[in-house]
Amino acid sequence: MATKKPYTRHDVLFSSGDSSCAAWLYLPTGVTSPPVVILGHGLGATRDMRLDAFAERFAKAGIAAFAFTYRHFGDSGGHPRQLLSIKKQLADWDAAISWVKVRRGIDGTRIAVWGSSFGGGHAITVASRHPELRAAVAQCPFTDGLASALALGPAATVKAFPVITRDLAAKVRRSAPVMIPLAAAPGSLALMNAPDALPGYRAIVPAGSTFRNEVAARVIPSLVTYRPGRAAKNIELPILFCISNTDTVTPPAQTLRYARTAPRGEIKTYDAGHFDFYLGEPFEALVRDQIEFLTRQLAPAPATPAPGRIAPHRR
């Protein structure tokens, strides 16, 4: 007799701004009106780069999962391709929240957001703007663009200036964007060139993926000035920070400083690198901690006694 699958996965296309985002909705089998966690990825990444692994585990634990790809990337809409706009990506989060709130079969009052790397920074921003959410998870989060730029080194920033200038000129001319690699070998021109960056990206790209290791260079100035960690102090809901002690992309010391300002923040640290979080034992440790946190925070609210009735006393 065939074993019943613990979840079903549905392909979704939802509207956002002038285009649409592609997503997967994982619904746990046999759970009526489950809570839901929305998952968004990191810098230039697409949902098939191990967001499905996290979503599957959440669904097996009885939590619906909604993993999406930002506009301009992967199989989502938006032109030109490989355009990273912080404003548009945050609008994609808002659109995803709006979509799950009205989706039949999901409890739209029990929503959490989950972001990894650059998406972890977005999760902080989104949680500070949506107090109606029940919880948030920020995994190896990008919290301070200036700190990340300093970690990359001033020489790398100077080397990027000509590419940024050419891409801004292309924007004015409305011609094809000038690209810069997302990840490359140490010493190379890229947004990330730490020793583990390029192998880390390659390790989580599945065969047949639509992922492209490049992004329009015009994003660099906005990356340096984006400091989502500052919003942590304004988050009213419980948020779990999962931080790498050896992070080469998002410096952990700065992230910890921001995480400690969250009024209801919980912090977990791991002796695994930024790109190790998606695979093997680090993934297992992370997903266990995240399931425990999400299960606790997304549990149904206790029933309120009807007016005029006294709740039974429990010893």
Indicate the domain borders of the chain.
7-145+228-297
Cβ neighbourhood burial of 8 (10 Å; 0-12, 13-18, 19+): exposed
Distance CA 62, CA 83 (A): 35
The pLDDT of residue 153: 65
Instruction: For the chain, give percent helix, strand, coil, nearest 5.
Output: 40, 20, 45
Distance CA 132, CA 110 (A): 9
The pLDDT of residue 315: 37
Distance CA 256, CA 107 (A): 32
The pLDDT of residue 285: 98
CATH class of 7-145+228-297: alpha beta
CB 91 within 8 A of CB 40: no
Series of mean pLDDT values for 10-residue runs along the chain (315 residues) = 85 98 98 97 96 98 98 97 97 98 96 98 98 98 88 70 93 95 92 92 93 96 95 98 94 96 98 96 98 96 53 41
Q: Which of 272, 237, 243 has the alpha carbon at shortest distance from 256?
A: 243
